[in-house]
Structure 1
Amino acid sequence: MYDYYWTHALISDETHAGIEKNCGDFRNVTNLRECFLYEFKADDELVDIDVYNIYAPVCNSSATKNGASYFVSNIDPCAEDYTAAYLNLPEVQKALHVKPIKWSHCSGVGWTDSPTSILPTINQLISSGISIWIYSGDLDGRVPITSTKYSINSLKLPVHTAWRPWYTGKEVGGYVIGYKGLTLVTVRGAGHMVPTDQPYRALTMISSFLLGQLPPQLKS
């Protein structure tokens, strides 16, 4: 994801170079202390950016009050706060039949059975003949398209359909590339929560998947 931050002018050349030198691919880090230091430096440089959508306003930002431009109207950057407040109401927890608890988004649940990589599972699914689509909002800094492409490229799958734009109406909705057994779709102007940021484009993409065809090209 640091490559994504760097190519989107969110971290400095020096910080990116330090991460490249000391962290490598993060699999066999030899200088753990320096790697951590440069990761912390990157976090400091990101400051108040919402990494789930790098161009979105953040909650309590003055930008939301001053009519800052955004890709989708009526997006409230504080929506997660409302959800947390609602799910922490005693009457709501009682109605849901859960024990009284302090609920929070992405709270530490102590996963112990998650794999270090999903790539072996993807290979297994490809071998089984299941249709696999991987999609990514191009403004998502948490699971960025650069990381997804690095991972898919490591599978060394043959390309069946060359990289091309797909459309919603007459606008580019994103880009698509078809590999043997796997399709990668990007959604333009969307962050981590694709249907929230780009509902129309998300609908086009999901409808195409259900129909068993690639997202549409521009109609002449």
Structure 2
Amino acid sequence: MLVYHGDTDILLPVIHSLESTRRIAARNALKDQKYDSAWRFYGDFAGIRKGYRKGNTTMDVISVRGAGHSVPTDLPGKAFQMINNFLFTEENKAIDYSEPIKKH
């Protein structure tokens, strides 16, 4: 599961999203992966990632720097990279949200 939000969102502040996902993880016995880390967009800081996991089930919470409530509309490039990497990462491989989109 991927939960993302803009860090300038006034309707759903980052702290609310982090707390809500922490509660969902606790209710579903997902363990905190303890890897709060930054992700990048073309080498620049793009936001923070927090992860939870139980078996093959993962839940990542991603903030998108500079985006408001509508991340894909505000910053479509960052949103596309983030969602593409979430969808197309090989099974049982760690998702690298910083990986640039490959051009074919």
TM bracket (short chain): 0.7 to 0.9
Considering Cα pairs closer than 8 Å and 6+ residues apart, tell me whether 1 or 2 has the greater RCO. Answer: 2
1:162 corresponding residue in structure 2: 35
AA partner of residue 201 (structure 1) = K
2:92 corresponding residue in structure 1: none
SS in 2 for 1:172: strand
Work out the CA distance in 1 between the residues paired with 2:33 and 2:16: 21
- 1:211 paired to 2:85: no
Work out the CA distance in 2 between the residues paired with 1:173 and 1:187: 6
| Paired residues, number | 86
Displacement after TM superposition at 1:200 (Å): 1.3
1:141 corresponding residue in structure 2: 10
Computed over aligned residues only, the root mean square deviation of the Cα atoms, in angstroms, reads 1.6
Displacement after TM superposition at 1:214 (Å): 3.2
AA partner of residue 36 (structure 2) = W
- 1:174 paired to 2:56: no
AA partner of residue 169 (structure 1) = Y
Give the TM-score of the pair, scaled to structure 1: 0.37
Displacement after TM superposition at 1:148 (Å): 0.9
Equivalent positions of 1:17-96 (< 5 A) are: none
1:49 corresponding residue in structure 2: none
AA partner of residue 163 (structure 1) = D
- 1:153 paired to 2:35: no
For structure 2, list consecutive stretches of 5 or more residues without a partner in the other structure.
90-94, 100-104
- 1:188 paired to 2:32: no
Give the TM-score of the pair, scaled to structure 2: 0.74
Displacement after TM superposition at 1:207 (Å): 1.1
SS in 1 for 2:97: coil
Bigger Rg over Cα = 1
